Amino acid sequence: MIENLFIFISKPGFRVCYVCGREFGSQSLAIHEPQCLEKWRVENSKLPEELRRPLPRKPQVDIPTVSDSVCACASVG
């Protein structure tokens, strides 16, 4: 059973970009998100109208990091 358990380790304190899913430090994320969203808009506008997607909305809460999930699992078991 343990061989089926995958543990993903990331640096503590990192947060996930809601647009692309990559991890960044809190200050880097504040710089990255507007740029990532603009890139998303440009790429989305190149698609045919029927394939365009609505603008991603920023979640009201922080997206947990992978390390947050590992810590939560470790405290349960």
Mean pLDDT calculated for residue range 31-59: 96
Under the banding of pLDDT at 50, 70 and 90, the label for residue 43 is very high
Q: Radius of gyration over alpha carbons of the chain, in Å?
A: 16
Domain ranges of the chain: 14-76
- Residue 74 CA, chain-centre distance (Å), reads 22
For 42, the 3-state DSSP assignment is helix
- Record the pTM: 0.61
71 compared with 32, residue with greater pLDDT: 32
